[in-house]
Amino acid sequence: MVSRSTLNRDKADELAVGSAIRGKPLRVVRSETNDHRVPAYSEMVIEGEVPLDHEILPEVPFGEMYGYIGALKAANVWMNVTAIIHRRNPRIVNQYTGVTRGFPTAPLEQVALHTMRRCVPNVKMLHTPIEATGLCFVSIKKNLAKRSRSESGSLTSLRSLKSS
Distance CA 41, CA 86 (A): 9
Which of the listed residues 86, 113, 132 is the one where a domain comes to its end? 86
pLDDT at 106: 75
Four-CA torsion 12, 7, 33, 3, nearest 10 degrees: 90
**Of 159, 115, 108, which Cα lies nearest the Cα of 129?**
108
Query: Cα 153–158–162 angle (5° rounding)?
Result: 150
Residue 127 lies in a domain: yes
Confirm whether 64 is domain-assigned. yes
Query: Is 34 in the same domain as 82?
Result: yes
Per-residue pLDDT of the chain (164 residues; tens, 9 = 90+): 445 545 566 777 888 888 888 899 989 999 999 888 888 888 999 999 888 888 777 766 555 555 555 666 777 778 899 999 998 988 887 665 555 556 666 778 888 888 888 888 888 998 887 777 678 888 888 775 556 556 655 665 554 444 44
Domain of residue 46, residue span: 14-86
CB neighbour list of residue 115: distance below 8 Å, 6 or more residues apart:
161, 162, 163, 164
Q: Domain end: 24, 59, 86, which one?
A: 86
